Structure 1
Amino acid sequence: MTVISLKSTQVGEGLVLPYAEAGYPDGTPVVFVHGLADSWWSFEPLLRRLPASLHGYAFSQRGHGDADRPEDGYTPDDLASDLVAFLDALGIGRALLVGSSTGGVQARIVAGSHPDRISGLVLAGVPATLADKPAVAGIQQSLAGFSDTVPREFVEDLMSGAVAGGVARGLMETMIDESLKVPARVWRQTLQGLLEADLPATLAGILVPTLLIWGDRDAFLPRGDQQAVLDAVHGASLLVYEGAGHAVHWEQPERVVADIAEFAARIATPGAR
């Protein structure tokens, strides 16, 4: 298993983000971007399985995990700016981005706006849009009734719906605890930012090689969302994980790491796309 180092860095003025780093120094830089209410821990199963060809970084976004919690700045564009600042702070000139769930929104914004900094894009269980998802409207309504903290029962229900099975209990408990660190206001502001943004527009202009990973038992995102991304991003390809739910990287980390490594090797070869 690969050794994981825990560090932190300052991005912008007064915003400190913790991150985990793993892999070999000469490996292809891979930056993992988590979704709403997760943290860098979401990618711990991947980081400890990285092959020698990859060097991974996973950070906790503002308001999440043990990161600083400013009063505002939770729109997709804000979080995308933080992602670029993270690359700058660590001196990562060019990286492969791996976004899971809603973290794929800011990842694709950066891929579209900074193609010189991004070698490729992997979107794992990422929505094309959230406007047509009844479950999201229900989550937003529930969040409106919470004060300072989000109830554990609410988080447990969400987490159970994110997987189809086969996740270690220790990982699930860790992710529940990490989500409980996120203030209710951050949940609300982040979700509101996603709902107010024109998410289909964030798919325009992506010219970097793009790989989609989706579990066919995803309870949140239908197959049609993946098709919408395929139609919008020229040359994108899709890997369907049979029997996996929304959080495919929790359920099948070995396969996800292998597919990321294969994708990174393929795009590193001139003309591979």
Structure 2
Amino acid sequence: MEAEVRNLRLRTGITVPCLVQGDTGARPVLLLHAWGESRRSFDRLVPRLTGFRVYAPDLRGQGDAEKPVDGYSLAEQAEDAAAILQALRVPRAFVVGSSSGGYVAQQLAADHPGRVAALVLVGSPLTLRGRPAFADDVDGLSDPVPEDWVRNLLSWFPLRHEVPAEFLEDRVRDGVRMPAHAWKSILNGLCTAAPPTETGTISAPTLILWGGEDDLLPRRDQEHLAARTAGLLKVYPDVAHLVLWEVPDQVAADTTAFLDSLN
């Protein structure tokens, strides 16, 4: 089936675009992108998820979604994700979250367990409490967000594998299109939230994909995440934090094998 982009009006009061691709009767997969990105960060993954009906929205404040001044707490971001499924008339889906998108996915699974058939967490945190080293830079942002600032932020996340230049440039475009208030509010919502595995129970089958050279998320946290979700942890030894960017082939293969194993 050809891909289409639908504009969804959510019960939470905003409109977001959502890429839809795959056969109508195929198993649904919801893709949740990371802070500062858009649905296009999944451009190299979606074609590899054959046999699924893929839904990839732009989340509040990012991409082509509406960018209101509020609604960016972790709980509200998870409510947006639940509202996206409702607007799509998808009662239950597999959910794949990349980086902080996996944090939103965890909150969705804790708050709406009936919506989540399984989780795949790709370079995703156990907790984001506290302030990352680049938070002061984010606090100092004003509009328009400078391209050089976005490039500098991306340099905080080293790559161990070659990533196509056009893909990287597209991530820069994602960042420049976000207003400063969205950069700040989304990060604040993530960093001030209690971890979903502490405030709720995640019962959905879970696969955790983590790069062994990730300098942002320690292995012990990934092991705790696996224990708290009764999940399976798979380590990619030569991959850093941006697992989705570096090895989309492996992510697609492992995601497909995991989800197929649940049938």
The alignment's TM-score, normalised by the length of structure 2, stands at 0.94
CA distance in 2, matches of 1:111, 1:34: 16
- Choose which of 181, 187, 195 in structure 2 pairs with 1:199: 195
CA distance in 2, matches of 1:200, 1:20: 27
Q: Does 1:15 align with 2:17?
A: no
Find the counterpart in structure 2 of residue 60 from structure 1: 58
User: Counterpart of 2:222 in structure 1: which amino acid?
Assistant: Q
User: Counterpart of 2:66 in structure 1: which amino acid?
Assistant: D
- Choose which of 119, 124, 129 in structure 2 pairs with 1:126: 124
Number of residue equivalences? 262
Q: How does 1:25-40 map to 2 (within 5 A)?
A: 25-40=24-39
CA distance in 1, matches of 2:220, 2:75: 25
**Offset, 1:265:** 1.0
CA distance in 2, matches of 1:202, 1:101: 18
Kept in 2: contact 1:204–1:232 (CA 8 A):
no
User: Counterpart of 1:112 in structure 2: which amino acid?
Assistant: A
Kept in 1: contact 2:12–2:79 (CA 8 A):
no
**Offset, 1:201:** 4.2
Kept in 1: contact 2:7–2:16 (CA 8 A):
yes
**Offset, 1:217:** 1.8
CA distance in 1, matches of 2:153, 2:43: 20
Find the counterpart in structure 2 of residue 115 from structure 1: 113
Comparing 94-103 with 113-122, which one deviates more in the overlay?
113-122
Instruction: Note closer, same or farther for the CA distance 1:203–1:125 as it changes in structure 2 (3 Å cut).
Output: farther
CA distance in 1, matches of 2:237, 2:21: 28
Find the counterpart in structure 2 of residue 231 from structure 1: 227
Find the counterpart in structure 2 of residue 143 from structure 1: 138
Instruction: Note closer, same or farther for the CA distance 1:118–1:225 as it changes in structure 2 (3 Å cut).
Output: same
Comparing 90-99 with 14-23, which one deviates more in the overlay?
14-23
Kept in 2: contact 1:215–1:246 (CA 8 A):
yes
Task: Give the percent of matched residue pairs that are identical in Structure 1 and Structure 2.
Answer: 35
Name the SS of the counterpart of 2:144 in structure 1.
coil
Name the SS of the counterpart of 2:109 in structure 1.
helix
**Offset, 1:29:** 0.3
Kept in 2: contact 1:119–1:267 (CA 8 A):
no
Q: CA RMSD in A?
A: 1.7
Name the SS of the counterpart of 1:164 in structure 2.
coil
Following superposition, which runs of at least 4 residues in structure 1 exceed 4 angstroms of deviation? 200-203
Instruction: Note closer, same or farther for the CA distance 1:256–1:17 as it changes in structure 2 (3 Å cut).
Output: same
Find the counterpart in structure 2 of residue 103 from structure 1: 101
Q: What are the ranges of 5 or more consecutive residues in structure 1 without an aligned counterpart?
A: 269-273
Q: What are the ranges of 5 or more consecutive residues in structure 2 without an aligned counterpart?
A: none
CA distance in 2, matches of 1:213, 1:203: 23
Encode CA deviations 1:86-127: one digit per residue, 9 max, x unaligned.
Answer: 000000011000011111112111112222221100110111
CA distance in 2, matches of 1:13, 1:77: 12
CA distance in 2, matches of 1:106, 1:203: 13
Kept in 1: contact 2:111–2:200 (CA 8 A):
no
Kept in 1: contact 2:205–2:231 (CA 8 A):
yes
User: Counterpart of 2:20 in structure 1: which amino acid?
Assistant: E
**Offset, 1:7:** 2.2
Instruction: Note closer, same or farther for the CA distance 1:249–1:203 as it changes in structure 2 (3 Å cut).
Output: farther
- Choose which of 67, 70, 81 in structure 2 pairs with 1:69: 67
**Offset, 1:42:** 1.0
Comparing 144-153 with 41-50, which one deviates more in the overlay?
144-153
Instruction: Note closer, same or farther for the CA distance 1:50–1:200 as it changes in structure 2 (3 Å cut).
Output: closer
Kept in 2: contact 1:109–1:202 (CA 8 A):
no
- Choose which of 78, 82, 85 in structure 2 pairs with 1:84: 82
